[in-house]
Amino acid sequence: MLTRFAAIDTGVKTVSEHNQDVLKAMEEQESGGAQILESVSRLKDITLSVMNGTENMSEAGKRVIKETDEFIAVSDQVVDGMNDIINGAMSHIRIAVDNVNEMSKENNSNFDDLKQEIEKFKVSTGIEKNIILIIDDDETHLAVTKAMLESDFEVTAVTSGTEALKRFYQGFVPNFILLDLVMPDMDGWSTFDKIKAISNLHHVPIAFFSSSNDPKDIDRARQMGAVDYLKKPIERALLLEKIRRHIKTEQNR
């Protein structure tokens, strides 16, 4: 159509200015249409690119989700495996600790039995120190008294009558006993009676060793058969003198 109007315009020269305006408008429309078609084509390309990108992103997202699920599954398996290993190790450790405790108890029992047997078959050489047992719940006073005596005697110290009786039942026989009067679990009076009820301890001299200066306590101690009633605190020289005298008296009977 544009070519036809051009022929008319150039050949005959009778086209009006109006027709030229129409021609110009059509030319502009044709150019604009071409631009629109080009834009539509570009938009189509862009749309296809976006769609492809979206599909790629979707596929990538699916792969990420799949790989994440696989990683979580493997992690759970690793955690379960580690828990099994740890639980197994803890079980073995507990068994080992129990075995060690049992072995320790058995060794201690065997050691106590061995000590008793040694005491039974010990042969006196005539130069052994006399054995003093101190029974006192006051650990400070116990330590002080032991320090006063241990250069001259073999000293054993316990903090209760119950502990002393346990040693006696295992065969322990001292040459002299210093017995505190006031103790929480078993007082001196009860401890004295229980010691004297053990047949191989009848001859062992026992002296009460107390901070009480009550005449009734002193009288009761003598009536029960105690060889002495010593008042705390006491000087070392006097304590040594009294113990030696009572042991010598007993050995001379």
SS3 for 67-135 is HHHHHHHHHHHHHHHHHHHHHHHHHHHHHHHHHHHHHHHHHHHHHHHHHHHHHHHCCCCCCCCCEEEEE
CATH number of 128-251: 3.40.50.2300
> Which pTM does this prediction carry?
0.52
153 bridge partner residues: none
| Res 126 pLDDT > 50 | yes
| pLDDT surpasses 80 at 15 | no
What is the predicted pLDDT for the residue at 200? 87
Where exactly are the structural domains of the chain?
1-122, 128-251
Q: Give the model's confidence band at 161: pLDDT under 50 very low, under 70 low, under 90 confident, else very high.
A: very high
Percent of the chain clearing pLDDT 70 (strictly above): 60
Residue 11: predicted pLDDT: 47
Tens of pLDDT, residue by residue over 33-84, are 667 667 667 777 777 766 676 666 667 667 767 767 776 776 677 667 767 7
